[in-house]
Copies of this chain bind each other. A is one copy, B any other.
């Protein structure tokens, strides 16, 4: 046990990290640049990289070094506070292990802050390492094969609205998900394992509590808006040249704080944000008759990008330089997209600039029409087309179904009926076909259970962060009206970005906002944003 062992551990982690960044870049290139008939070659490259990445992440020396370092700290992988499988069980009020570790004099450094950092790295490296090595290679290969077959089956089934054809793949994925949880020691809590993979420390029970409260407040608000005679006008945006849209969104995203010296934005079919550390690649798409789609998808990705750019670069490749999970990531994209960029203050600054770039196209669009278009609310069956009010209901639906599936309360074959019933209950809409219902999302075809809740978690966290920011800087929207977003970004940098994976999701929220995560801020925000417009 020595400083040298710690450095060797970090070098091994960085190696796995840089391999994953290479695979990430190839994935980005595939969506942005790849010539149409070059896909087979890219698949060969990615398969080889996946193999090398796995070898680097499962390097037995990582295990040896971790065991050695853990024994120096007086902890063992079986320690209940340290072991990932027990995270969800620890009380919300218990500080995370990194904070309870006592300074150990013979460890690497005598500075407590350095020791705490290293304890975080070891804790999270252990979590990652166990997840990689406890899954047998044959299992990983089987899941990969199933995902590939299930993706194609899903795409075909969606085309024909034929859930029965997809059901066996989903059943198999469900069985594998339970098997995976068992390998990791979560046999009795398979759905919690799936959730914890995306949001460390989160559980189905905690989500149920949060989502139930959210639903209670949200459904009445949605009903009231649905009954409102106010409607955003259709078809008021026509003929926005792509080059001018590109220049406008560059102006917007740069003012929000995205550093284009360490990132870029390109075009792809579906917008996404890829990369880490010093090289963040965002994408968007353009539609001459829908400039807000491109603008808001770019702002959303900018939120993800700002988070990644704010992670400590010096810690790149270690857990201290990595994001805290899906829900926290989504909170950053949603905060910038919704709380910031749908605000009056934002548009006070940007509306004149928008009109300057598109004087003819916006001549007949009043300020009120523009602002209502920015904040359009209308129910839809399709999650990805949903506004921010309805969006959470789409997630509640999926969470409830996943929960029942894992609990054995629902059979896969009964999923369409359950989906449709919940859709009617939550959205007031019943899908006319499964293609617009249970078959609409790609996620399950990859076995990505426990992923959907992160979206709603992100919305709740964003609203709670926003409430705290407003409490901290009551005049912060005056900044926005001047095109200045640096105070908000600085506050997020300190509280969220620079923490890396130091805290689990709920602990991070508690530390930054001073209270437990609650849906009340999301409900209050939605009420305050939409009631004046629609009610």
Residue in B18, B29, B34, B44 whose beta carbon sits within 8 Å of that of A45 in the complex: B18
Q: Give the number of times this chain occurs in the complex, counting copies.
A: 2
- A-B contacts besides A22-B22, A25-B26, A37-B259, 10 pairs, CB < 8 Å: A25-B45, A35-B260, A35-B261, A35-B264, A35-B279, A37-B278, A38-B263, A41-B277, A42-B279, A52-B52
CA distance A44 to B21 in the complex (A): 10
> How many whole Å from A383's CB to the nearest CB in chain B?
32
The residue of chain B having its C-beta at the shortest distance from the C-beta of A23 within the complex is B22
CA distance A278 to B259 in the complex (A): 34
> How many whole Å from A519's CB to the nearest CB in chain B?
38
CA distance A37 to B264 in the complex (A): 11
Instruction: Answer yes or no: A148 CB below 8 A from chain B CBs.
Output: no
Known: A29-B29, A33-B264, A264-B33. A21 touches B38 (CB 8 A): no
CA distance A261 to B40 in the complex (A): 13
Contact B278 A36 (CB under 8 A): no
Instruction: Answer yes or no: A15 CB below 8 A from chain B CBs.
Output: yes
Complex interface bits, A450-468 against B, C-beta within 8 A gives 1, otherwise 0: 0000000000000000000
Complex interface bits, A31-61 against B, C-beta within 8 A gives 1, otherwise 0: 0011111101110110011001000000000
**Interface positions of A from 488 to 522, Cβ below 8 Å from B:** none
Contact A22 B45 (CB under 8 A): yes
The residue of chain B having its C-beta at the shortest distance from the C-beta of A34 within the complex is B279
Residue in B15, B29, B48, B277 whose beta carbon sits within 8 Å of that of A48 in the complex: B15
Complex interface bits, A249-283 against B, C-beta within 8 A gives 1, otherwise 0: 00000000001111110000000000001110000
CA distance A19 to B49 in the complex (A): 8
B residues in contact with A264, CB < 8 Å? 33, 35
B residues in contact with A260, CB < 8 Å? 35
CA distance A19 to B52 in the complex (A): 10
The residue of chain B having its C-beta at the shortest distance from the C-beta of A41 within the complex is B278
CA distance A360 to B45 in the complex (A): 47
CA distance A278 to B41 in the complex (A): 6
> How many whole Å from A337's CB to the nearest CB in chain B?
23
> How many whole Å from A220's CB to the nearest CB in chain B?
47
Contact A25 B36 (CB under 8 A): no
B residues in contact with A26, CB < 8 Å? 22, 25
The residue of chain B having its C-beta at the shortest distance from the C-beta of A279 within the complex is B38
Residue among A41, A259, A260 having the largest count of chain B Cβ atoms under 10 Å: A41
B residues in contact with A21, CB < 8 Å? 41, 45
CA distance A61 to B263 in the complex (A): 41
B residues in contact with A49, CB < 8 Å? 22
